Structure 1
């Protein structure tokens, strides 16, 4: 007789709009709901099934950073190891949801579904989207087809891979998109359907209790490179450059990048362009090719903020040779 599959889902709450209500005194939304109170908003929307609640924190997502990621990943890993849990839903503010989802995707070791969701409209709004998104996430959590796909981002009945998901609109409920790659799947009524699986998966074990500092510095017309130098002076172990086009900077930025590379600071080059990623192809000073020749690595299709997370994890144990870093970004 085959073993009975568990149906219990773990709900980890971290704050964000999905647990926010309008404060009558200020007219402004604040994260105030507990996980149990969030579950109570599902009445009349559908049956959440068996859910256990873990209130990890209750903050706006701009206040979530590497320290919280480390603690959250430890909690999620311990829950995923339990035989009585089918999967995990993490509720999160949408501002930095994709960052947290990508971190979890990189460090967690589990075949069980881990679904990150949130809301664009708070619980005081008449069209609060939190209940629909939470129910959708719980359905995915129990779907056998969701196993082995890594961390998923699910809002508005669409499913994205953590690597590909990005917030594209500040208020639209259809905010999370996967760019040129497209959604992994969708949820219609009670049916969870996947159209494809993520082709690119990367795992970097979390080995440190605190992650090394990595800063993001933007290239723009007339950039002096002073912020590259300042980041290194402030103790950054790595710098992600948000370059233009397919990974280019001006000569001043290129000079500053070369100088910090000589000081042992790792540099990854991403782009401000949402699609296409970085690639070599030009030979002018400051081009992606010249930066790579100087010892920087190209981040490929990763956004600057996702490239930063890879670089932080890669540098946990100290400096890493550029060819080894390049292999990580190529995976």
Structure 2
């Protein structure tokens, strides 16, 4: 009789267990790729310096509510400062993201990254990742030893974004401080504040609220560039400033740079010495892209004095438009890698 009652209890519980299993199985999968950065650092008790200390699995322990939104896979990709990133590392990261998003059950990817070069990695991935599923970069301005550590909030918000249907097709995003920025326009604006990432005149594309994720605009200026495993060409950034003599630009060319980005002033202007150095590079078949150190606005061929934007454009340089120097470098590098080096082809990519 006891055996019969036990069996009846099991039968009664079976539908509930099946529903729970079904609910768990219906949750989307989000892959969390941990790469390092302040979000994965603590204060060393001996040196008192902030150093890498925790893994992606450790970070997931700080967000117990993540399971409400997705099944999380952790990929401990690296554990390093964002200052150490370089093209080979970016290429490996693109492959890791592509591999994850190619799986039907994976709804999106969240990447923990140091904030110092996060905008570069975000734009690189926006240019190179094949899928239209959401990729969200997050980090922290305060390390994990801080009582007001901002990493957990950013991580949970990113997981929620990754499982939001409206996030599909938005490209790579950067989500911190409850704000969502597009990869192409976002930049770090403050060394310490949690509200450091902004998109200038363009503004952020969405917000994360307690009850929902809200998108207010779509990032339209996007393009995809296929990459292989071959080494990326060397592209350098040289700055224009009062008294710049162009010698470092010439040196970069002589040392084998395959492309140059000039961080010019204003709409893309420079002095005569830098202008002559630009012509030196162009004369040796090295493409030159003119960006600006001004946070908002674009470079364009307007000023006709020697070194003005129009003179460098007429000499053969390419205008970066509203891309920052560091992002212009990435686009130039990837187009050169693709085999595009003529002015018309490069200008078309920067105008897109």
Fold-level similarity (TM above 0.5): yes
Shift of 1:32: 1.8
Aligned residue runs from structure 1 range 1-331, under 5 A? 7-43=28-64, 47=68, 49-318=70-339, 320-331=341-352
1: distance between equivalents of 2:219 and 2:69? 27
Report Cα offsets for 1:278-315 as digits up to 9, x if no partner. Answer: 11221100111110111110000000000000000011
Helix, strand or coil at the partner of 1:56: strand
Shift of 1:110: 0.8
Shift of 1:5: 6.8
Q: Per residue, is there more helix in 1 or in 2?
A: 2
Helix, strand or coil at the partner of 2:337: coil
- Name the TM-score, length of structure 1 as normaliser: 0.96
Distance 1:317 1:194, change over 3 A: closer
Asked if 2 retains the 8 angstrom alpha-carbon contact of 1:70 and 1:210, the reply is no
| Cα RMSD for the two superposed structures | 1.4
Asked if 2 retains the 8 angstrom alpha-carbon contact of 1:139 and 1:190, the reply is no
2: distance between equivalents of 1:296 and 1:194? 37
- Name the TM-score, length of structure 2 as normaliser: 0.91
Helix, strand or coil at the partner of 1:292: helix
Helix, strand or coil at the partner of 1:24: coil
2: distance between equivalents of 1:132 and 1:210? 37
- Number of equivalences: 328
Helix, strand or coil at the partner of 1:327: helix
2: distance between equivalents of 1:6 and 1:195? 26
Shift of 1:204: 1.6
2: distance between equivalents of 1:70 and 1:179? 28
Shift of 1:133: 0.2
Report Cα offsets for 1:67-91 as digits up to 9, x if no partner. Answer: 1100000010010000111100011
Give the structure with higher Rg (CA): 2
